[in-house]
Amino acid sequence: MSATDELLANNERFARAFPGPVSGRPSLGVAVVACMDARMDVYALLGLTPGQAHVLRNAGGEVTEDMIRSLTISQHELGTTEIILIHHTQCGMQTFTNSEFKAKLEAETGRKPRWSSLAFTDLDADVRKAIARVKASPFLTCTRTVRGFVFEVETGSLHEVR
Amino acid sequence: MSATDELLANNERFARAFPGPVSGRPSLGVAVVACMDARMDVYALLGLTPGQAHVLRNAGGEVTEDMIRSLTISQHELGTTEIILIHHTQCGMQTFTNSEFKAKLEAETGRKPRWSSLAFTDLDADVRKAIARVKASPFLTCTRTVRGFVFEVETGSLHEVR
């Protein structure tokens, strides 16, 4: 049995206890942008329940063009007005450089990506860059409440980056 | 108090009961790509616990270049070998066309995006397209287990798209 099959069996149990549908319009008006890291259950660590917020995740929790696309849809089509950005300690994105990653990928696949891995070194600086990218987008018109945090994988706490 | 402040108060409670750190290397070797939709608590609906899987999310659960970047890091740096793609019923991405969205955005912000919204009409076809994009990437070398699903927001069930 693959891990995917195990998770599908979990979903069968979940569906049997499903409490019923909720609205697709985020009731808290919040969009969360977080790293894909396996240690972060974003619903649990923010105490979210279904229907309250959009959750967007990629490697690093970076504000890429695809994140801008998603956040623009979140604000203009589904009415969110607050953005929470979450990076975390011990991030895999700090364990290699972009050029190291490209060289490794070329050795393993014979191809070099045209995109950057977006590896970074300074965690707080990367959160500030993410905040700045949201604020600089002409399409994200609700930027009054854009706040960035570091999740401590050691303690479960969020610390704000100012 | 903003919604963000409410969620931070939730996090304080979460951290007080934090059971302790887990490894950042996904123990199930799974990466999940899902829509950002507020109705999907991906951990809950798959029965995931922290440390088991990467979770990646954007508007639509689309396999964009940024998703390929994230999945490549997931496979080559953190050892995942299975991919689960999750779209869902009643998706906001089916409620407008790309040209309608661009026109609306231009009216609201005075600017037209260079990117597509990636709106779609046929749900199953869009899941198949996502599977095909993963399989076509030269950087995603573990494509033996790439499966796509529709989450029914009405019932909580996952249905496989073949």
- pLDDT bin (cut points 50, 70, 90) of residue A162 is very high
Give the model confidence (pLDDT) of A30-76 as tens digits.
999 999 999 999 999 999 999 999 999 999 999 999 999 999 999 99
Interface contact flag, A67 B73, Cβ < 8 Å:
no
B94 CB within 8 Å of a chain A CB: no
Q: B27, exposed or middle or buried, with CB in 10 Å at 0-12, 13-18, 19+?
A: middle
Taking only the tens of pLDDT, chain B with its 162 residues reads 899 999 999 999 999 999 999 999 999 999 999 999 999 999 999 999 999 999 999 999 999 999 999 999 999 999 999 999 999 999 999 999 999 999 999 999 999 999 999 999 999 999 999 999 999 999 999 998 999 999 999 999 999 999
- Residue B69, pLDDT score: 98
With a cut of 90, say whether residue A144 has pLDDT above it: no
B7 CB within 8 Å of a chain A CB: yes
Q: What average pLDDT does the structure give for chain A?
A: 97
How far is residue B83's CA from residue B87's CA, in Å, rounded to a whole number? 13
Residue of A nearest to B144 (CA): A2
- Residue B14, pLDDT score: 98
- Residue A97, pLDDT score: 95
Give pTM, 2 decimals.
Answer: 0.98
B162 CB within 8 Å of a chain A CB: no
Residue type, A56: L
With a cut of 90, say whether residue A156 has pLDDT above it: yes
Residue of B nearest to A119 (CA): B73
How far is residue A148's CA from residue B143's CA, in Å, rounded to a whole number? 34
Cα→Cα distances B13→A154, A156, B10, B16, B43, Å? 15, 10, 5, 5, 19
Q: What is the ipTM score, two decimals?
A: 0.97
- pLDDT bin (cut points 50, 70, 90) of residue A1 is confident
Cβ neighbours, 10 Å, residue A5: 12
- Residue A62, pLDDT score: 98
Interface contact flag, B145 A2, Cβ < 8 Å:
yes
Side by side, which strands form the sheet with B82-88? A158-161, A145-151, A82-88, A30-35, A53-58, B53-58, B30-35, B82-88, B145-151, B158-161
Domains along the sequence of chain A with CATH: 22-161 (3.40.1050.10)
- Residue B71, pLDDT score: 98
A109 CB within 8 Å of a chain B CB: yes
A154 CB within 8 Å of a chain B CB: yes
Smallest CA–CA distance, residue B121 to chain A, in Å, is 16
Which chain A residues are within 8 Å of B13, Cβ to Cβ? 47
